Amino acid sequence: MENLSEKTSVKETRMVVGKAGVGTVSTIGEALERCKGIEGPVRITILSGVYRERLAIYQNNLILSGIGDVEIVDGRYAREPDGNGGEIGTFRTATVFINAENVLVENITITNDAGPGEVVGQAVAMYSEGDRVTFKNCRFKGYQDTVCLGPLPEVQKTGLPFCTPQLKVRFEKSRAEFHSCMIEGTIDFIFGGGEGLFHQCEIKSLKRPDDGVGFISAASTPEGQERGLIFEECYITAEEGTGNVYLGRPWRAYGKTVFSRCWMGAHLHPERWDDWDKASNRLTATYVEDRNHYEGDGAFIIPDWITFIEEEEG
């Protein structure tokens, strides 16, 4: 994936966001608004602080770079009333929504602080419907459905369409990379149909209020798509007291998930994979565990519907 931070031959448009009058503007939303219509690379530098904002990013060729401790936080939740007698639903809760290509986000924490799913329903921190989106040294904080990588399935399981933020572009491919990031949550907190590479990240399960089981991933990979969610050299950890966490379950039948050369904590459920109470998913979903290191007593079960690759000797 192209790294915008290494471009030197193309002139950048630069803006600085800071508190207390330091910077070009005081909010990230205003900086994005001022960049509308600019085609060349845009770099928005964000000075340290907590920014209580909800962002929709449509700017291509964008670098969003934090200095110091930068947090973007909002608290919308799926059960929030929509003003018409219904609820806003999962995908309009995102603190940061991205519908653009060639975007780099670095050194930023993105948080949805609405609370646990048992109380408020799903609450998304970051939802991407873009392509060639890269995150470096970022943190994603939430509970249920923390990070979503589109595309979404065509319809909900009820047959009704999903309600989402405005999609100005539908990309042929939806690819995202996460490098040296931390992602936390409880249920399906990394999910969707996009191609996601997670490299040397910490994937941290939080303790559920009811002590229920947890689920890290919920892929909805479209049929025929080569890649789904790939975790490579990651650290699969948990908050103290957390147990019985599954590596994943298929949100849709052809979900694809791979954990390769990862360090697996002792909090994982012995079976590690769930079929979402649908046995037919075992015939279509693709789950691979490749040369991982497993903490604990080693008393885990290898389900017959996953591919398990042991560490090669020598």
Tell me the pLDDT tens digit for each residue of 30-85.
Answer: 999 999 989 889 999 999 999 999 999 999 999 999 999 999 999 999 999 999 99
Mean pLDDT of 256-270: 97
Residue 60 falls within a domain, yes or no?
Answer: yes
Q: What is the pLDDT of residue 312?
A: 65
Residue 84 falls within a domain, yes or no?
Answer: yes
Q: How many domains does the chain have?
A: 1
Residue 201 makes CB contacts below 8 A (sequence gap 6+) with 178, 179, 180, 181, 182, 183, 231, 234, 235
Residue 209 falls within a domain, yes or no?
Answer: no
Answer whether 0.85 is exceeded by the pTM.
yes
Q: What is the pLDDT of residue 281?
A: 97
Residue 135 falls within a domain, yes or no?
Answer: yes
Q: Can the peptide bond before residue 209 be classed as cis, meaning omega within 30 degrees of 0?
A: no
pLDDT band at 22 (very low <50, low <70, confident <90, very high): confident
Residue 58 makes CB contacts below 8 A (sequence gap 6+) with 99, 100, 168, 169
Residue type, 277: D
pLDDT band at 20 (very low <50, low <70, confident <90, very high): confident
Q: What is the pLDDT of residue 228?
A: 98
- Note whether 72 and 53 are within 8 A (CB): yes
Residue 85 falls within a domain, yes or no?
Answer: yes
Q: What is the pLDDT of residue 39?
A: 86
Write out pLDDT tens, residues 298-311.
Answer: 678 889 999 999 87
Q: What is the pLDDT of residue 118?
A: 96
CATH number at residue 44: 2.160.20.10
Q: Kindly report the average pLDDT of the chain as a whole number.
A: 94
Q: What is the pLDDT of residue 21?
A: 82
Write out the E strands in 22-167: 42-46, 49-52, 55-57, 62-66, 70-74, 96-98, 101-106, 109-112, 126-128, 131-136, 139-141, 147-149
Indicate the helix (H) or strand (E) that contains 31.
helix 28-34
Residue 71 makes CB contacts below 8 A (sequence gap 6+) with 49, 50, 51, 108, 109, 110, 111
Q: What is the pLDDT of residue 4?
A: 54
Q: Is 188 noted as a catalytic residue in this protein? A: yes
* CA pair distance 110, 124, nearest whole angstrom: 10
Residue 235 falls within a domain, yes or no?
Answer: no
Residue 289 falls within a domain, yes or no?
Answer: no
Q: Which of 188, 211, 277, 290 is catalytic?
A: 188
State which residues form the domain around 62.
Answer: 4-185
- Note whether 191 and 147 are within 8 A (CB): yes
Write out pLDDT tens, residues 204-234.
Answer: 999 999 999 999 999 999 999 999 999 999 9
Least Cα distance to 184 among 130, 227, 223, 144 occurs for: 144
